[in-house]
Structure 1
Amino acid sequence: MDGRQGDAPACARCGGTVAPDGHCWDCGVAQPAFRSRVEAAAGGAAGVSDRGKRREVNADAMAVTTAGAWTIGVVCDGVSMSPRSERAARLAAEVASGALVPALLAGTAPEIALEEATRRAGRAVAALAVSPDEAPACTFVAGVTGPGGLWCA
C-alpha cells in the first residue's frame, strides 16, 4: 500500500499523497502540474496566467470579482527565492479581494479601501513566516474600477 487516500494523486517526487493545495503531504514538494494555468473572470474583466518555463509551480495568483458597480482585480506573483511564495500570492489575492468587496459596498472611498486591503494582505502573508529567514513573499497589485474612475495600489 502506498499510503495515499482514495483517488488522491501521487507526488511526483516521493509518491506520497498530494494535498488540495498542490503540495505533497509527505515531503512538502509543490507538484509540477498544479495550477499550471490560472484563469479568472468577472464583470467583463478577465485574467490568465500560465506556469513559466523555469519554475515547477505557477506562483501567480489573481482574484477578479464584482461588487455592485465595482470591478475588483488583484494580481500577486510569488517571489521565487522565498519559501511557499505561491501560497503567499494566493493568500494575498484572496485576503485583499475579500476586504475590498464589503468596503466598497459600504461606501468606503476606493483609495481608503485599497489601503486597508493592502495592509490586510501584508499581515496575512507575514503570518505565514516561520521565522525572518523563512518568510514567504509576493508582489501585490490591486485595482478597482467603478463610479468615477479607476484606482490602484
Structure 2
Amino acid sequence: MKRIFFSNLIAFVGPYQGGVWRIRVELPDAYPYRSPSVGFVNKIYHPNVDEMSGSVCLDVINQTWSPMFDLVNVFEVFLPQLLLYPNPSDPLNGEAAALMMRDRNGYDQRVKEYCEKYAKAEDAGAAPEEKSSEEELTEDEYASSDEEVAGKVDP
C-alpha cells in the first residue's frame, strides 16, 4: 500500500521568503529503503522543480537516498536547502535555469512574482502561524485537506 502525505513548507529566507507550498509526499511500500516521491502541489518557479507536475529533482531524494534519512530530513533540510541553493546545471525547468544563469536579479524577481501569485498561505491550505504536522492518505483518499506548516530554511 502506497501512503500519501501532505504537508506545508514555508520559506524563511532568500527569494522564496514568505512563500508557503503544499508538498505531496508518496511513500513506497519499501520505505525507508526506497526514497519517497516528493512534489510541490502549488506552483513554484525553480530550476529543479518541474513547473507542470511539481516533481522535485534532488539527488539526495532521487539517487543517493539512504534508509538513515526520514521525512524530517526532507522537510527540515533537503527542501529548504533546495530553495536556498538551486542547481541550474541539472534542471527540470530549463527556463528557470537559463534565467538564473544569465540574470540572477531577473530570476529572483520571477520567483517573487510566483510567490505572490501561487504561494500564499491560502494557496497551501494553511495559515502561517500553524505548526508542523502530517496527514496520511491512501491513494483513494487523495483529496484536499487542511494542513499545517513544516520546515524551516536554515540560514
Q: TM-score by structure 1 length?
A: 0.33
Instruction: Tell me which of the two structures has the higher relative contact order, counting C-alpha pairs closer than 8 angstroms and 6 or more residues apart.
Output: 2
Larger Rg: 1
Relative to its length, the structure with more helix (as a share) is: 2
